[in-house]
Structure 1
Amino acid sequence: MSAPGPYQAAAGPSVMPTAPPTYEETVGVNSYYPTPPAPMPGPATGLITGPDGKGMNPPSYYTQPVPVPNANAIAVQTVYVQQPVSFYDRPVQMCCPSCSKMIVTQLSYNAGALTWLSCGSLCLLGCVAGCCFIPFCVDALQDVDHYCPNCKALLGTYKRL
């Protein structure tokens, strides 16, 4: 007889696969609460007959004490999780990390890289008589700083380039 191929079963007794463990066996449900042993039948004297045939007292079971919260020490801590804020050229409603107030940011415009590049481009095109400074007056060409109106803290900057 030749050796079995990769898709042929080997000759011999077939083994039936066993069933996988149950969910309770896998996770260990009720492993925290042991089940008490069943009392063994014995005389009506209140004693239980042990495995060796002698009488013994009923088993005392250990119970887990439940912690009772102290009424005087109740402290509630509220945690606010804020998503990252993306700053653009429009005001943003957010919670200020400095003063923890809900605010709408105030905008301040500053000359940035796009402003200077626009000014240089206009100079090269021949706008030397002062027209090359127009980008410094146009908010759409400047960088934007976002400030808190309450505590005046700088919250973020939007750079055009």
Structure 2
Amino acid sequence: MSVPGPYQAAAGPSSAPSAPPSYEETVNSYYPTPPAPMPGPATGLVTGPDGKGVNPPSYYTQPVPVPNANAIAVQTVYVQQPVSFFDRPVQMCCPSCSKMIVTQLSYNAGALTWLSCGSLCLLGCIAGCCFIPFCVDALQDVDHYCPNCKALLGTYKRL
């Protein structure tokens, strides 16, 4: 009875899965090696497929497998540059409805609006004048909407 070495498999049934193919087996199944050239009678030339003598090539190239033309799926990818939103309408392609649009603007109270209101209160404008920043569009944040599908596209924050 012999003891199996580190590279020998134990004899008998086994529930372990078989080993994967080696690198050479894998490469040779995809890239078959070309047949070795046969030297001619005494001339040192290699005999070609037509029986004539030719000089042996200095190297062999292995054929690259060509994918099946029916299995190629072409996917067109459109890369849209990031749009910078400011306090003016922007012309762009809407990512929701894929149409060229000019954005509609909506003004909302943001950090600059509240900071201006608080500053006016501290300066003594407590009789209602401190709420003026809520009426000035230049102090409010701007939301950009698509006029076609009404999707929110981006926001410009003043602060």
How would you bin the TM-score normalised by the shorter chain? 0.5 to 0.7
Q: Which whole-Å CA distance do the structure 2 matches of 1:135 and 1:46 have between them?
A: 97
Residue 65 of structure 1 aligns with which residue?
A: 63
Offset at residue 19 of structure 1 (A): 47
- Corresponding residue SS for 2:29: coil
Offset at residue 30 of structure 1 (A): 22
- The answer on whether the counterparts of 1:88 and 1:144 sit within 8 Å (CA) in structure 2 is yes
Q: Which whole-Å CA distance do the structure 2 matches of 1:45 and 1:8 have between them?
A: 47
Give deviations 1:50-75, integer Å, cap 9, x for gaps.
89999999999999999999999998
Alignment counterpart, residue 49 of structure 2, candidates 33, 48, 51: 51
Give deviations 1:37-89, integer Å, cap 9, x for gaps.
99999999999978999999999999999999999999875432110111111
Closer/same/farther in 2, CA of residues 50 and 115 from structure 1, 3 Å limit = closer
Alignment counterpart, residue 131 of structure 1, candidates 129, 154, 159: 129
- Corresponding residue SS for 1:144: strand
Instruction: Give the stretch that moved more between structures: 2-11 or 33-42.
Output: 2-11
Q: Give the aligned length.
A: 159
Q: Which whole-Å CA distance do the structure 1 matches of 2:47 and 2:83 have between them?
A: 73
- Corresponding residue SS for 1:119: helix
- Corresponding residue SS for 1:157: strand
- Corresponding residue SS for 1:30: helix
Q: Which whole-Å CA distance do the structure 2 matches of 1:7 and 1:66 have between them?
A: 33
Q: Which whole-Å CA distance do the structure 1 matches of 2:54 and 2:133 have between them?
A: 98
Point out where structure 2 has 5 or more consecutive residues left out of the alignment. Answer: none
Q: Which whole-Å CA distance do the structure 2 matches of 1:70 and 1:5 have between them?
A: 44
Offset at residue 9 of structure 1 (A): 59
Offset at residue 126 of structure 1 (A): 0.8
Offset at residue 25 of structure 1 (A): 28
Closer/same/farther in 2, CA of residues 119 and 2 from structure 1, 3 Å limit = farther
Q: Which whole-Å CA distance do the structure 2 matches of 1:34 and 1:116 have between them?
A: 75
Closer/same/farther in 2, CA of residues 113 and 100 from structure 1, 3 Å limit = same
Q: TM-score by structure 1 length? A: 0.55
Give deviations 1:107-129, integer Å, cap 9, x for gaps.
00000000000001001111111
Q: Which whole-Å CA distance do the structure 2 matches of 1:140 and 1:157 have between them?
A: 14
Closer/same/farther in 2, CA of residues 4 and 120 from structure 1, 3 Å limit = farther
Residue 75 of structure 2 aligns with which residue?
A: 77
- The answer on whether the counterparts of 2:117 and 2:133 sit within 8 Å (CA) in structure 1 is yes
